[in-house]
């Protein structure tokens, strides 16, 4: 055979092989997920991050200004109700209070003196009245004794009234003295202190916010406050179960119950109206590891189905389609189904797919479209 013919046939064969090589369809490596049974919830979620809050929290300040004389606590201390936290310099007020106490004692002694004298004069008047009936004393003497008795009774009443006035003055001085002491309105933990011994504290003027002297947080009671869209708020009822997730505890879920629904709508931004809901945590043993101010997301369970056929919501196209894996052809086929309950995690399948069917997990896979030849990633 001619050498040129052989060379030509070889080139033709090579070209054919190259054409078949590049024209052959290459499979795409994808991940699949199976249709399975499990719980599916219809939920309402918060529109912005919620916050862990304490049931009781007070940012305490003194009602009067003054120099801090004694600071009895530090940040992180546990305090009991009515415990003194800060005391201002108050020696002048202490002196006034002691003076008022002394006046009360004097007034009480005056009452004893005046009222006993009144009793004596009344007895004397009674004795003279008996003698006057026997004509043994003059009318003038009897009249003088009666007047003296009446004056003594009036003096007794005056002394009692003076005692009440002294008591009121003492209570006033006590109230002024108490203004120089900051006490805990409830038991809790000191979160923050603004001030040191020797520094001067000034109360906040009206309408001007200043840092509190002490930030006190009650322990043993936490809840989550989160905003939900006004459209969804009407579906929420007190006592509904809630799934709580926190950025600080990825992959962990806490359980709660709706305890309060705000009776008004907030308008923080244009076309963004929300209603605040409060959620109490069911497991109180979780409190110690949760910090006040943690961000939290809530999913209020409006309706729930157990042992329902379901798929991850991320696998669904246009709300009712998936790319189903065909075992016989190793290709993806677009399949419609009838959805039921749905949330951001799972969607219920009412019909159109069977338990065990496998569908494309990630819709972001390059080339993973209807009719694509695929291989399965582990």
* pLDDT tens digits for range 192-212: 999 899 999 887 766 666 788
Share of the chain above pLDDT 90, in %: 60
User: Rounded to an integer, what distance in angstroms lies between the CA atom of residue 196 and that of residue 198?
Assistant: 6
For 105-155, the pLDDT digits (tens) are 999 999 999 999 999 999 999 988 888 888 888 888 889 989 999 999 999
DSSP state of 284: G
Is the per-residue pLDDT at 64 higher than 60?
A: yes
Model confidence at 246, pLDDT cuts 50, 70, 90, reads very high
Q: How high is the pLDDT of residue 108?
A: 94
DSSP state of 298: E
Residues 6+ apart with CB under 8 A from 315: 33, 322, 359, 360, 361, 363
Residue with the larger pLDDT of the pair 209 and 277: 277
* Tokens at 322, concatenated: 């998936």
Question: DSSP for 329-353?
Answer: TTEEEEEE-EEEEE-SSEEEEEES-
Model confidence at 15, pLDDT cuts 50, 70, 90, reads low
For 154-180, the pLDDT digits (tens) are 999 999 999 999 999 999 999 999 999
Is the per-residue pLDDT at 238 higher than 60?
A: yes
Model confidence at 10, pLDDT cuts 50, 70, 90, reads low
Order of strands, sheet of 200-201, starting from the edge strand that comes earlier in the sequence = 181-183, 84-88, 66-71, 200-201
End-to-end, the C-alpha distance of the chain in Å comes to: 54
- Listed residue (56, 51, 76) closest to 219, CA to CA: 56
Q: 234-241 long-range CB contacts below 8 Å, 24 or more apart?
A: 235/44, 235/300, 235/302, 236/44, 236/261, 236/277, 236/300, 236/302, 237/261, 240/300, 240/301, 240/302, 241/300, 241/301, 241/304
Q: How high is the pLDDT of residue 245?
A: 93
Q: How high is the pLDDT of residue 365?
A: 80
* Tokens at 112, concatenated: 């004893």
Q: How high is the pLDDT of residue 20?
A: 47
- Provide the mean pLDDT of the chain: 88
- Listed residue (83, 100, 103, 82) closest to 92, CA to CA: 100
CA 349, chain centre distance (Å): 38
């Amino acid at each position: 055979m001619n050498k040129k013919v052989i060379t030509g046939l070889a080139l033709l064969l090579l070209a054919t092989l190259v054409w078949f090589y590049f024209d052959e369809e290459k499979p795409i490596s994808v991940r699949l997920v199976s249709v399975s049974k499990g719980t599916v919830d219809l939920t309402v979620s918060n529109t912005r991050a919620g916050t862990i809050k304490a049931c009781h929290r007070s940012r305490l300040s003194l009602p009067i200004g003054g120099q801090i004389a004694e600071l009895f606590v530090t940040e992180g201390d546990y305090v009991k109700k009515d415990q003194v936290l800060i005391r201002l310099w108050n020696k002048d007020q202490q002196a006034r209070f002691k003076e008022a106490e002394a006046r009360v004692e004097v007034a009480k002694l005056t009452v004893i003196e005046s009222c006993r004298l009144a009793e004596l004069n009344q007895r004397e008047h009674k004795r003279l009245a008996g003698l006057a009936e026997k004509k043994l004393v003059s009318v003038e003497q009897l009249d003088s004794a009666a007047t003296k008795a009446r004056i003594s009774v009036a003096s007794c009443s005056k002394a009692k009234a003076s005692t009440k006035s002294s008591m009121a003055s003492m209570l006033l001085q006590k109230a002024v003295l108490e203004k120089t002491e900051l006490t805990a309105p409830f038991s809790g933990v000191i979160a923050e202190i603004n001030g040191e011994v020797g520094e001067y504290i000034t109360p906040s003027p009206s309408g001007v916010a200043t840092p509190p002297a002490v930030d006190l947080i009650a322990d043993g009671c936490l809840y989550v406050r989160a905003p939900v869209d006004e459209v969804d708020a009407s579906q929420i009822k007190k006592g509904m179960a809630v799934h709580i997730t926190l950025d600080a505890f990825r992959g962990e879920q806490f359980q709660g119950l709706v305890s309060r629904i705000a009776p008004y709508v907030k308008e923080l931004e244009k076309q963004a109206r929300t209603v605040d809901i409060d959620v109490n945590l069911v497991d109180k043993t979780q409190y110690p590891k949760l910090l006040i101010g943690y961000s939290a997301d809530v999913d209020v369970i409006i309706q729930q189905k157990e042992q329902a056929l379901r798929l991850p919501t991320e696998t669904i196209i246009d709300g009712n389609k998936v790319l189903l894996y065909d075992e016989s052809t190793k290709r993806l086929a677009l399949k419609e189904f009838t959805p039921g309950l749905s949330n951001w995690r799972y969607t219920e399948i009412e019909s159109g797919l069977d338990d065990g069917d496998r569908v494309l997990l990630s819709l972001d896979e390059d080339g993973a479209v209807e009719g694509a030849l695929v291989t399965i990633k582990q």
